[in-house]
Structure 1
Amino acid sequence: MSYLSIEFGLLFIAFFALYWGCCFSPNLQNKLLLIASYLIVASYSWLFALILLVYTCIIYLFSLAIASSQRHAKRWLILALCVSIINLALFKYFDFFRYELQALLNFCHLPILLPVITVLIPIGISFYTFHSVSYLVSVQKKALPVAKFWDFALFLSFFPSIIAGPINRAKDFLPQIAVSQPREILQPFRAFTLIILAVIKVYCLGGLVSENWVKPIFANPLEFNVIDLLVGLYGYAMQIYLNFSGYTDLVTAIALLLGFRLPINFNFPYLALNLREFWERWHISLSHWIRDYIYIPLGGSRKGFIRTQINVLLAMLLSGLWHGAGINFIIWGACHGIGIIALNIGDRYFGRNWITARSPIIARLITWHYVCFTWLFFNSESLPDAIDYLTALTHNFFIEPNYIGAFLFICIIFFTYPLFKNIPDWFTLQLGKIKPWYLPFIFILILWVTIYIAPSGVPNFIYANF
């Protein structure tokens, strides 16, 4: 069920009324949230809910072992992390590794046939796996006591963030669950602003960009001119940002209406002046998770310049693999790793931010185009599709462009993008000045106009696939 569907909206209104009808008891509210979260997971498949429950029980038992063991806590942690990784790999990467291993066996002329097993990927498995890792590490470091089982179960299954993030840290989110004082709705005007932004971004702008620019160009890249192909790349960069940041806006708003705060996940990423800054602005909860649980444990920047670059590349390769079981995602991660390494080398020999210091706009243009280039691999169904796109991009100079107007429009958007930065805060401020009984009518009017303009159908959340 899409969180932008009318069905979900009506169900959430009913749940909202029931939830706040129990405002005298946070414990009862937690039980309602847990039931609702499992029902949403079960709406995709009851097996997904069962897998989540079993995983929750196993990880919780490991946390008890870690907390109660004085001498072997680290061993229990390593074992628990291995179980988490194997569970994720089994469901998400079995088919990919089976295919690649079978290809290797065939290449070596070994008469071994690996079994074909259809494995469904449980919804949200990447996110609740990352949530559980943050919990286990926090317990092992004594930064967090062992949670009550039902609180931990809600932490892993919390429905606003289980489908496509953002990634919650146990030390930040579990205390919000284990409150004893009655909760309250947080920042209602900001929540309404975020809902409106989500609908505009995902339903309208993202949908229009996808239908008019991205899908037709990526479907047959060899037929288009370089200008058109750039529009396709630029369009996908816009689409994935609008889609994913819009989803984050929506679930952040839902959490605020339920009395919870989710971590910031986007901060105008296409204002970044280099690739490092891009990852400080894009999918922030993931980039910080990779930094804290992969890059730093690998040694971070503590073991010399060359080792630092190896750690960067490994972290970004794992980031790519996390996004999907395919060579195209690994290439996408490798491109980001190589880009950051090149940036680090430039900083070492020419001075930190040497391009930015001379021309911020050139630095931003370079970053934008490099990120758009990497999105080519992210959006392609396979490596041959990406190669076709690259071939057309480097050869189709003489075909008359079809999307010159779109190209100029995107250029205008790029250069005026910094002006959009304060719009959400300004809109929230204006909502606070309006008399409360007018707000539902304004809200409904904006939603109706947006849905009327948007393409037909309920848009999918791109990151729900990961």
Structure 2
Amino acid sequence: MLFPTFVFGAFFVIVFVVNWLTRPHPALWKPLMLTASIVFYGWWSWRFVFLLLATIVINWVVGHFAAAALRESSPAAAALRASEQGATNSDHRRRWWIRAGVAANLGILGVFKYWDFFAVEMSNLLDSLGISGALPVLEYTLPVGISFYTFQAMSYIIDIGRGRVREMAPLDFAVYLSFFPQLVAGPIVRAAEMAPQLAARPDPRYVPAAEAFGLILNGLFKKVVISSFLASEIVDGVFADPSAHSGLEVVLAVYAYAVQIYADFSGYTDIAIGVALLLGFRFPQNFDNPYRAVSLQDFWRRWHMTLSRWLRDYLYVPLGGNRRGRANTYRNLMIVMLLGGLWHGSTWNFVIWGGIHGVVLAVERLLREHRERTGMSPLLPSGIGETVRWLVTFHVVCLAWVFFRSESLSAAMEMLGAVANFGNYAGTATPLVIAVTFGALAFQFMPSDWFEQLRDGFASLGWVSQGAVVGLSLVAIDVLGPTGVAPFIYFQF
């Protein structure tokens, strides 16, 4: 359990040190938090600290000049000028700064995350055409969390250009972009959500500690116990060699991976939100029982919600959304989901994963519009129809997960082909694996207020009892968790 224990321990050390040192000196909070966040990030590689710092500087400068241009182009400022040309020029400057900032962020992301993929594919294409020469492969180590903090940076400068957020002070922006709980794996927190909390930081002595510890313990249990157990007991082995397993085990491994990636990613998110709460900050929700979705659109309203909203507001809507006819709407859906797949990784598997989601989203929209246009009644009674829609949605999601998890396209196809294996039973479909997999899926359908009831019950306990509950929970998680728990899956994105 070394890696999650380090992350969890580092979180608590930072929370304790920052709150303890800054209680008598509140002005030290932001410099100390920035320093702690940089040290936390630099633990993986100090080389990439300079990349993070460069991203902070570039985006603050872009935001500063874009905000200045926006102020000049405001109606009040324009009224003070005799010529309207001044306002026009300032509008051009604002748009130029925003475009330059977005290009810089995409350039950083492209070099460190996508250049090698592009270089290899272009070299293969040139070879197939009989053209000699190859693009250089840089073989950079992917900086941890680059996709998350780059998207946060872009949202900041775009929202400044739209007039939806005020320019942040340099130190505030540096803390916002490097804030350690969500720096390496989200959620994607926008400046409009974080800036007001930075400006009026609550007293850390009066934070919702019961809710925070409940989230942290829940996240640790999902990652250390559920996710790691399924990975070691069935998922890793079956995906590594699907032909050595029966079709039943392959299908179960796909279901188990659906649970694993949810428990892993939502587990980290719970920990990040809980730690932020201990510092007095509230992050947006990132998951809402996604496997109870009855359509793929519903799934994306529940899965990685901060990324879904980011793609909607900064890509889908600017492309035209659903305002320019059905053909353009379907095109926009495909573009968004293909780029969403590419955001996760620079391989064709992720592109196919996004493509599956894009195609099914378009088909769902086509069928919905056809029913609305023709007034066609549902073919099945409401209860049965909803169950069928859930089954179809869940299996589409699982099909896409095969490409997401597999190391290559050929490995994904081998995994799908192994579903038809009627022999080679390897004994991985144990009763405990089946119980954990389907129990976790069934847990998605628990009443939505169950966590609030547990939290309120925990909060009603005295501090001694609360400490005992937390201590016993940590011991239980440590005992139930396997040895050598892997890093969080989304650290690679």
- TM-score w.r.t. the length of structure 2 is 0.89
Change (3 A) 1:326 1:185: farther
- Indicate the residue corresponding to 1:433 in structure 2: 460
**Which amino acid in the other structure matches residue 91 of structure 2?**
R
**Aligned equivalent of 2:162, options 141, 144, 154:** 141
| Secondary structure at the counterpart of residue 267 of structure 2 | helix
CA offset digits 1:247-299 (Å, max 9, x no partner): 00001010000111111000000110110000000000000000000000000
Which residue identity is paired with 1:377?
F
1:415–1:161 distance in 2 versus 1, CA, 3 Å: closer
User: For residue 68 of structure 1, what is the aligned residue in structure 2?
Assistant: 68
Is residue 166–residue 263 contact of structure 1 (8 Å, CA) maintained in 2? yes
Deviation for aligned residue 1:59: 1.5
Does 1:242 pair with 2:268? no
Residue 224 of structure 1 corresponds to: 245
2:32 maps to what in 1? 32
Name the CA shift for 1:420/1:235 in 2 (closer, same or farther; >3 Å). farther
Residue 227 (structure 2) aligns with: 206
Q: More deviation in 342-351 or 419-428?
A: 419-428
Residue 309 in 1 paired to residue 335 in 2?
Answer: no
Distance in 2 (CA, whole Å) between partners of 1:243 and 1:160 is 15
What's the offset of the Cα at 1:454?
A: 1.1
Decide which moves more: 405-414 or 56-65.
Answer: 405-414
Q: 2:478 aligns with which of 446, 451, 458?
A: 451
Written as runs of structure 1 = structure 2, the 5 A alignment for 1:52-63 is 52-63=52-63
Gaps of 5+ in 2: 70-89
Describe how 1:317-328 pairs up with structure 2 within 5 A: 317-328=338-349
Contact 2:115 2:137 in 1 (8 A): no
1:79 corresponds to which of 72, 77, 100: 100
Which stretch of the first structure deviates more once superposed, 116-125 or 273-282? 116-125
Compare 102-111 and 410-419 and name the one that shifted more.
410-419
Q: Distance in 2 between matches of 1:353 and 1:141?
A: 43
Q: CA deviation at 1:185?
A: 4.2
Q: Distance in 2 between matches of 1:199 and 1:423?
A: 18
Whether 1:108 aligns to 2:129 is yes
1:442 counterpart = 2:469: yes
Structure 1 residue 439: deviation in Å? Answer: 1.4
User: C-alpha separation between the residues in 2 aligned to 1:53 and 1:356?
Assistant: 57
**Secondary structure of the corresponding residue to residue 302 of structure 1:** coil
CA change 1:432–1:11 in 2 (3 A) is closer
Higher-Rg member (1/2): 2
Sort the Cα spacing of 1:22 and 1:3 in 2 relative to 1 into closer, same or farther, 3 A. Answer: farther
Match of 2:109 in 1: 88
Distance 1:183 1:145 in 2: 25
Q: Which residue of 2 aligns with 1:418?
A: 445
Distance 1:444 1:369, change over 3 A: same
Contact 1:25/1:182, CA 8 A, preserved across alignment: no
Cα shift at 1:120: 2.3
Matched residues, number: 465
Aligned positions of 1:117-266 closer than 5 A: 117-179=138-200, 182=203, 184-266=205-287
More divergent stretch after superposition (154-163 vs 341-350): 341-350
Whole-angstrom distance in 2 between the partners of 1:146 and 1:3: 37
Match of 1:397 among 419, 422, 439: 422
Moved more, 97-106 or 71-80: 71-80
Code of the residue aligned with 1:448 in structure 2: it is V
Counterpart of 2:446 in 1: which secondary structure?
A: helix
Is this contact kept in 2: 1:227–1:404, CA < 8 A?
no
Distance 1:80 1:353, change over 3 A: farther
Q: Which amino acid aligns with 1:433?
A: S
Alpha-carbon distance between aligned partners in 2 of 1:213 and 1:420, rounded to the nearest angstrom: 29
Q: Cα 1:195–1:404, aligned 2, differ >3 Å: closer, same or farther?
A: closer
Aligned mates of 2:7, 2:464 — CA distance in 1: 25
Opposite residue 251 of structure 1, the aligned amino acid is A
Using the TM superposition, name which of 172-181 and 130-139 deviates more.
172-181
C-alpha separation in 2, matches of 1:231 and 1:181: 47
Q: 1:5 deviation in Å?
A: 1.4
Shift of 1:12: 2.5
SS at match of 1:123: coil
After superposition, the C-alpha distances for 1:104-146 in whole angstroms (9 at most, x for unaligned) are: 1101111122223222222211111111111101211222221
SS at match of 1:301: coil
**SS at 2:229 equivalent:** helix
Greater shift, 26-35 or 285-294, is seen at 26-35
The residue type paired with residue 471 of structure 2 is: I
Q: CA deviation at 1:45?
A: 1.3
- In structure 1, the gaps of 5 or more residues are none
Alignment check: 8 A CA contact 2:34 2:179 kept = yes
CA gap of 1:14–1:308, structure 2 versus 1, over 3 A, is: closer
The amino acid of 1:396's aligned partner reads N
Task: Tell me how far 1:309 sits from its aligned partner.
Answer: 0.6
Q: Which amino acid aligns with 1:87?
A: I
In 1, Cα distance between equivalents of 2:349 and 2:40 = 31
How far did residue 398 of structure 1 move?
4.7
Task: Give the letter aligned to residue 43 of structure 2.
Answer: S
Residue type matched to 2:42 in 1?
A
Residue-by-residue CA offset, 1:332-358 (whole Å, 9 max, x unaligned): 000000110111111122349957945
- Aligned to 1:369, which of 395, 401, 410? 395
Distance (Å, rounded) in 2 between the aligned partners of 1:135 and 1:397: 54
Q: In the alignment, what sits opposite 2:79?
A: none
Check if 1:461 corresponds to 2:488. yes
Distance 2:381 2:406 in 1: 31
Task: Provide the rounded CA distance (Å) in 2 between the counterparts of 1:404 and 1:24.
Answer: 56
Identity %: 34
Name the SS of the counterpart of 1:386 in structure 2. Answer: helix
